[in-house]
Amino acid sequence: MTGLGGIANRSPRILVYTGKGGVGKTSVAAATALACAQRGYRTIVLSTDIAHSLGDAFGIELGPEPIQIAPNLHGQESDAFYNVSRYWGRIQQYAGSLLRWRGLDEVLAEEMTVLPGMDEIGALLWIAEHHDSGDYDVIVVDAAPTGETLRLLSLPEAAKWWMDRIEPIGRRITRLTGPLIQRVVGMPMPGDDVFNAGEELFDKLEHLHDLLTDPDRTSIRVVLTLEHVVIKEAERSFTYFHLYGYPTDLVVANRILPDEVGAYFRGWFEAQQRYGPLVEESFAPIPVLKAPFFDREVVGIPMLTEFGTALYGETDPTVHFYRGRPYSVAREGEEFVLSVELPFAMKEKIALTRHADELSIEVGTWRRNLVLPRALIGAPTLGAKFHDHVLRIRFAAPPPATGGKARGRQDN
Ligand SMILES: Nc1ncnc2c1ncn2[C@@H]1O[C@H](COP(=O)(O)OP(=O)(O)O)[C@@H](O)[C@H]1O
Ligand SMILES: [Mg+2]
C-alpha cells in the first residue's frame, strides 16, 4: 500500500466512539471507518453496544465474525452468547454446574451464566484480538453508551486486583478442601481448568486495558449533541476517562442545525448556538468537530461518505487530534490533588467556585468547568497553585459517608 502518510507499518490505531444513546455514535463510527478505508487503511469497525445498529447504518447484515463491507472495510456486530462461549467457556460451564446443583434446570442455568457485562466485555476483547492479528491498520469501535463503557473499561483493573489477591487463595483452598466438600455436600468445586480459564481471561483483559490506555494507539472520542443532559453526561465521562487514563483526543458535536431552520426549530437552533461555545470551553484543549443535522438518516455508503467528509474534511481521522492528559487526580497523603495542565503560563489570581459536583476555575479570562469525580464531591477545596504550567488544586479528604449511602469508590 502506498500513500499512507499516517500509520502504515506501525501498530494499529484504535478509535473508540462513545456517548449517550441516540447521539449518533454508530453513525460517526461507521462514517469514520469508511473514511479510513477510503484512505487505504485496512479497517475494521465493530460494535460493542448490545443495541446493535452498525449493520443498519451500512444497510447490510453483520454477524459475530468480521464481514467485508467495502474495499478495505470489515464490520462486525458481536453476539452475547457467541462471545461468552468464546471467552468464558470453562467459567461459564462451572457456573452452570453450580446453578444446576442449586436445582436450576439446564436451559435456565445456561441463560443465567451470561452475567451482566460479560457479553460486552467479550465484545471489547475483540479489539485486542484484531489488534494482535495484524490484519488491520485501524480498529473503529462503536461503543456502548457512556456509563456502561466506563464501568467496563475500568474492569480490567478490578479484575487484576482479584487475580493478585483472591485467586491464589481460592486455588489453594479448593485443592485442599474441594474434593471433601464435593463428596460431602455434592457441590461442584472449580477445578484447575476453571482457574486457568479465569487467569487466561484476566490476562486478556489486562492486555486490552494496556492497549486502551496507550495514548500512541488509542483515542477515545466523545460524541454528543448540543443538549443540556447530553453535555452533562459527556463531561462526566470525560472526567472519568482522564482519571482512568484513557486518552481522549476529540469531541464530536453531532446534529448541528443549519442557519436556515424554520420557525418551529428556532428554539432548538438558538439553544445550540448557546451550548456550542460552552462545549468548546468545557472540553478545551480537546478540539470539537461539528457535524450538521442532515435532512435524512445517515444510512448507506454514499450518506456515510458525505457524513465523514462533513466531519473530517481533508483530515485523516487517525491523526491524534490532541495529545496529553489535560487533568488528573492523585492522592497525596491525606489529600487529593487535581492537576490541570495549562498550555500557557499565568500568574493572575485564581478563582475557584464550587457548585454541587462542578468546579469552575477562572484565571484572568481563562475559564474552565470541570465535573468532579465522585471521590471529590464532598471534599473541601484547600487551595490552588501554579507550577510548571500545571495548576494544582488541593482537596481535603472527603468526610466519611454517613447514612447508609455508600460514598463512591476511590478513584486514583
Ligand atoms: N447528523 C445527523 N443527521 C441526521 N441524522 C442523523 C445524524 N446523526 C445520526 N443520525 C440518525 O439518527 C439515528 C440515531 O443515530 P445512531 O448513530 O444510531 O445513534 P447512537 O448510535 O448514538 O444511538 C440514526 O437513524 C441516524 O441515521
Ligand atoms: Mg448505536
Residues 179 and 113 in one domain: yes
Query: What value does the mean pLDDT take over residues 343-369?
Result: 74
**What pLDDT, on a 0 to 100 scale, did the predictor assign at position 78?**
78
Q: Are residues 315 and 273 in the same domain?
A: yes
In this prediction, residue 39 carries a pLDDT of 97
β-bridge pairing 43-47 and 138-142: parallel
293: pLDDT strictly greater than 70: yes
Query: What's the whole-number mean pLDDT along residues 224-238?
Result: 89
pLDDT higher than 60, residue 109? no
Bigger pLDDT: 175 or 274? 274
Percent of the chain with pLDDT over 70: 71
Q: Report whether pLDDT(58) > 90.
A: yes
CATH number assigned to the domain comprising residue 203: 3.40.50.300
Atom of ligand 1 nearest to the CA of 254: 1
pLDDT digits (tens, 9 = 90+) for 382-392: 888 887 778 88
Helix (H) or strand (E) holding 94: helix 89-101
Question: What CATH number corresponds to the domain at position 359?
Answer: 2.60.40.790
Most confident stretch, 41-50, 178-187, 311-320, 359-368:
311-320
Whether 405 maps to a domain, the answer reads: no
Separation CA 143–CA 254 (nearest Å): 16
- 130 Cα–ligand 1 center, Å: 26
List, for residues 96-105, the tens digit of each pLDDT value: 666 666 666 6
Q: Is 333 left (phi over 0), alpha (psi -120 to 50) or beta?
A: left
403 lies in some domain: no
Is pLDDT larger for residue 334 or for residue 223? 223
Q: Is residue 353 part of a domain?
A: yes
Residues 309 and 350 in one domain: no
- Higher per-residue pLDDT: 328 or 279: 279
- 259-280 confidence digits (pLDDT tens): 888 899 999 999 999 999 989 9
**Among candidates 201, 235, 1, which has minimal Cα distance to 88?**
201
Going from the Cα of 297 to the center of ligand 1, the distance in angstroms, rounded, reads 7
Burial of 234 (0-12, 13-18, 19+ CB in 10 A): buried
In a shared domain, residues 101 and 227? yes
Write the CA distances from 324 to 3, 79, 147, 281, 285, integer angstroms. Answer: 28, 35, 23, 17, 9
For the purposes of burial, counting CB atoms within 10 Å of the CB of 169, is it exposed (0-12), middle (13-18) or buried (19 or more)?
A: exposed
One domain for residues 64 and 136: yes
Q: Which of 256, 297, 303, 307 to mutate to test the pocket of ligand 1 (most atoms within 8 A of CB)?
A: 297
Q: Does residue 202 sit in the same domain as residue 345?
A: no
Would residue 74 count as lying in a domain?
yes
- Helix-strand-coil percent breakdown of the chain, rounded to 5? 40, 20, 35
In a 13 Å sphere around the CA of 314, the CA atoms on its Cβ side amount to 0
Q: Is the same domain home to 222 and 209?
A: yes
Q: DSSP code of 50?
A: S
CA 279 to centroid of ligand 1, rounded, Å? 20
**215 and 105 in one domain?**
yes
Confidence band, pLDDT 50/70/90 cuts, at residue 361: confident
pLDDT value of position 307: 98
Residues 333 and 316 in one domain: no
Closest ligand 1 atom to Cα of 303: 27
Predicted local distance difference test score (pLDDT) of residue 320? 97
Mean pLDDT of 278-300: 92
Which one has a higher pLDDT value, 33 or 50? 33
Domain boundaries, position 8:
1-324
pLDDT at 232: 86
- Read off the pLDDT of each residue in 352-380 and give the average, rounded to a whole number: 78
Nearest Cα residue to atom 8 of ligand 1 = 24
- Output the CA 108–ligand 2 centroid distance in Å: 29
Residues 192 and 290 occupy one common structural domain: yes
Ligand 1 atom with least separation from CA of 57: 27
In a domain, 13, yes or no: yes
Contact 210, 119 (CB under 8 A): no
Task: Choose the weakest-confidence range: 116-125, 166-175, 236-245, 288-297.
Answer: 166-175
Tell me whether residue 408 is in a domain: no
Q: Residue 406 is placed in which grid cell?
A: 455508600
- Residues at CB less than 6 angstroms from ligand 1: 19, 21-27, 53, 254-255, 291, 293-294, 297-299
| pLDDT for residue 298 | 96
| H or E, element range at 266 | helix 266-283
Distance between Cα 244 and ligand 1 center (Å): 28
Asked if residues 248 and 286 have their Cβ atoms less than 8 Å apart, the reply is yes
Ligand showing the shortest atom-to-Cα distance for residue 21 = 1
Sign of CA dihedral 360, 375, 143, 295: negative
The string of DSSP letters for 204-262 reads HHHHHHHHHT-TTTEEEEEEEESSHHHHHHHHHHHHHHHHTT--EEEEEEEEEPPTT--
Same domain, 301 and 386: no
The answer to the question of residue 406 being in a domain is no
Please state, rounded to an integer, the average pLDDT across all residues of the chain. 80
Which helix H or strand E contains 140, and what residues bound it? strand 138-142
* Average pLDDT for 329-354: 77
The counts of H helices and E strands in the chain are 12, 15
Going by C-beta distance under 8 Å and a sequence separation of 6 or more, which residues neighbour residue 132? Answer: none
Residue 314 in domain: yes
Rounded Cα gap, residues 337 and 341, in angstroms:
13
Written as one letter, the residue type at 350 is I
Q: Is the pLDDT of residue 407 over 50?
A: no
Assess whether 224 and 370 both reside in one domain.
no
Contact by Cβ (8 Å): 366, 346: yes
Neighbours of 72 (CB within 10 A): 21
What CA dihedral angle connects 168, 172, 178 and 181, to 10 degrees? -100
**The ligand 1 atom nearest the CA atom of 19:** 22
Residue ending a domain, choose from 279, 305, 324:
324
Other CB atoms within 10 Å distance of the CB of residue 206: 16
What's the pLDDT score for residue 315?
Answer: 97
Can you tell me the mean pLDDT for 26-36? 98
Question: What residues contact residue 204 under an 8 Å CB cut-off, 6+ apart?
Answer: 87, 125, 128
- Cell numbers given for 209: 486495558
- Which region among 18-22, 343-347, 350-354, 394-398 has the lowest average model confidence (pLDDT)? 343-347
Contact by Cβ (8 Å): 338, 395: yes
Distance (angstroms) between ligand 2 centre and the Cα of 373 equals: 26
User: What residues pack around ion ligand 2 (CB closer than 5 A)?
Assistant: 25-26, 53
Split into its structural domains, the chain has a count of 2
Of 278, 302, 324, which one is at a domain's C-terminal end? Answer: 324
> In sequence order, what DSSP letters do the residues of 310-374 get, joined into one string?
HHHTTS-TTS-S--S-SEEEEEETTEEEEEEE-SS---S-EEEEEETTEEEEEETTEEEEEEPPG
Is the full-model pTM beyond 0.85? Answer: no
Q: Which atom of ligand 1 is nearest to the CA of 142?
A: 21
